[in-house]
Structure 1
Amino acid sequence: MTTAAGTAPPPMSFNTPEGFFVLPLAGAAEDRAERAELFARGLYSRGDEEIWAPAAPYYAALGEFLADGGVTYAALGLFSTADTEDAEGAEDARPARYEASLGVAQCAFTLAAVPTDQSDPDVAAQGLYALLSQDEYNDVDWLDLPCGPAVTRATVSGYRLRPELTGDGEERELLTGEIQAHVPFPRAPFTAVFTLHTASMDHWAAFRDMMTAILHTVEFPGPAEA
């Protein structure tokens, strides 16, 4: 179980699937650098020092940047798109391992607790739904979660890639998708904002299902449980 950090908003928890690599955010610079090195080694488990050495300070700086911006949880998700028969160890008791060349879907996932002027979760969710629905490019949904109401917004954006940035020298369009879920805290004027961003659009439906599954695990413990 993953617990969101932070002293201002009340505690909350949620579950994430296997394949999420949690980016170190809090702590002193030295501690964050050490944990960023472990993060890089876990993310690039088949790499070596040539990959890990430059990656670690990058992720340490990224973690500091996100934390300064109010993000309390951040992770990179890597999921194999290979068929089961392509996995090493799939026919015995060992965990299946996949070559990245067989296909990997990626996403970035963050959580921030945003202060609001509304402590009633239903009123807050209704206001969010009305606001987000004003943009015709937003695919807005209302969710009744075990923890209370939530509003999700899904968008797809396209970017033109110049020929020099593509492998075949032809201009291409890069599509990216973002799913943002707003879950009002039930007993405090805060909204938990989950954001999932991906360029693996062939698996867009799977990422939307994954976000919904994560949201159904969100819990806000009462004062006696916190």
Structure 2
Amino acid sequence: MADGPAERVERAESFVRQLYSRGSEEIWAPAAPTYATLAERIGATGVSYAALGLFSTSEQERTPTGDVARHDLAEGAAQCAFTLAAVPTEQEAGAVDVVAQGIVAALSKDTLNDVQWLDLPCGPAVSCVTWREYQLGPEVTATAEPAAFVTAEMQVHVPFPTGPFTAVFTLVTASIDHWSQFVDMMGGILQTVSFTDPAEALTE
């Protein structure tokens, strides 16, 4: 998330052109302000990074000649939303274990939450996975029939060892058939988390 409104507007304009790469000004012009406004609202909640992931689910295989063969019947896209926020928490520097234990206790009160302790390279963290089912009315479904809409969310809380904040990584998707791949992606991101200034690390 950019620091100022002007830069957020600029990034929103760039984002919609990438998201709707085959679009035109007719699509980009109204979409950009929508995402810029969304960025303002997200930023006000403490989110410092937000992304929308779109991934092709087309199955591919190599032909005997080495060319890629695409199975058209399997074509589609999987989508997820990812955010990162720094949330103020009452803690002393270095008391990450105590904070993590408190997060486990708080999240475990909801029986729908699957709460797990994580040991990351940067220190202790807490993972919370929640599945939700929503009932959609016939007026918004393609078949004009009531349908269930299921989403899965993984939220990982990582206490700062340097001060009174907790980093909260959140990934949400309705593409539940690809949940395991999204979990792997989140795991890869978490392995890179560090509270050491890269510039300081180079001088050591």
TM-score normalised by L of structure 2? 0.87
SS of residue in 2 equivalent to 1:208: helix
Q: Does 1:37 align with 2:13?
A: yes
Cα offsets for 1:76-113 (capped at 9, x unmatched) = 11111111349xxx949xxxxxx9x9211111111111
Q: Which has the higher helix share?
A: 2
- Give distance in 2, aligned partners of 1:65 and 1:216: 29
SS of residue in 1 equivalent to 2:200: coil
CA RMSD of aligned residues (A): 2.3
Among residues 64, 72, 78, which one is paired with 1:105 in the alignment?
78
The equivalent residue for 2:110 is: 135
- Give distance in 1, aligned partners of 2:144 and 2:176: 22
Q: Please tell me whether the aligned partners of residues 25 and 64 of structure 1 are also in contact (alpha carbons under 8 angstroms).
A: no
Q: Does 1:117 align with 2:94?
A: no
Aligned length in residues: 193
Q: Structure 1: which amino acid aligns with 2:37?
A: A
Q: Which has the higher contact order (CA 8 A, sep 6+)?
A: 1
How many Å apart are 1:25 and its aligned residue?
3.8
The equivalent residue for 2:43 is: 67
TM-score normalised by L of structure 1? 0.79
Larger of the two Rg values belongs to structure: 2
Unaligned runs of 5+ in 2: none
How many Å apart are 1:132 and its aligned residue?
1.1
Cα offsets for 1:99-142 (capped at 9, x unmatched) = 9x921111111111111111311111111112211211101111
Q: Structure 2: which amino acid aligns with 1:32?
A: R
Query: Equivalent residues in 2 for 1:180-195 (5 A)?
Result: 180-195=155-170
Unaligned runs of 5+ in 1: 1-23, 93-98
Q: Please tell me whether the aligned partners of residues 26 and 64 of structure 1 are also in contact (alpha carbons under 8 angstroms).
A: no
Give aligned-pair identity as a percent. Answer: 61
Call closer, same or farther: CA 1:64–1:171 in 2, change over 3 Å. Answer: same
Call closer, same or farther: CA 1:216–1:223 in 2, change over 3 Å. Answer: closer
Q: Please tell me whether the aligned partners of residues 77 and 107 of structure 1 are also in contact (alpha carbons under 8 angstroms).
A: yes
Q: Please tell me whether the aligned partners of residues 129 and 153 of structure 2 are also in contact (alpha carbons under 8 angstroms).
A: yes
Q: Structure 2: which amino acid aligns with 1:45?
A: S
The equivalent residue for 2:122 is: 147
SS of residue in 1 equivalent to 2:187: helix
Call closer, same or farther: CA 1:176–1:223 in 2, change over 3 Å. Answer: closer
